[in-house]
Structure 1
């Protein structure tokens, strides 16, 4: 999650306006608006302070990942489909890959 999204979601979760959050922090509403912009690049300490002012606590963790990670949500989504739907989805994926392969060949000046 980006810092700007974290700040905005914490503020909204606390039911605060930008002006109310700014007042809690002793700053101005435009400062909060800048923190919520997608291109904001605040320090960890700034984000933690803003989040604390919304009544939340920041937690930063390093979680080890294996070399071969698996997105279990994708597996669950596939298993929720019946076999015929899975085959149709696979056919669509194959068609898309084929189109991309041909487009790549054309862009390189190759004949497909």
Structure 2
């Protein structure tokens, strides 16, 4: 193994350790789900606006999402999918609380 390969291997191990730390916390999993959702990782990049510039921009976002997905996958198998599910549940709770607050029936404190 040469120096570059050794460095790459150490970096991958370090990234997996960092991702595992995020996945250990509900807030970390929700944040990872947010990142995956915001990057449009599972959406078509040629949507909404047909201009090439918009498509190229979205492809860049999707590349970031793919990197995050791969990092989480290496750290915990199906973790990216569960992160996305937890983010969806959290988002539904935020929407529910927001509706209750607008009706004067609750407070705006968000919990994970």
* Structure possessing the higher radius of gyration over alpha carbons: 1
Normalized per residue, the structure richer in helix is 2
Q: Same fold (TM over 0.5)?
A: no
Shorter-chain TM-score tier: under 0.3
TM-score (norm 1): 0.27
Which structure exhibits the higher relative contact order, with contacts defined as CA atoms closer than 8 Å and separated by 6 or more residues? Answer: 2
TM-score (norm 2): 0.27
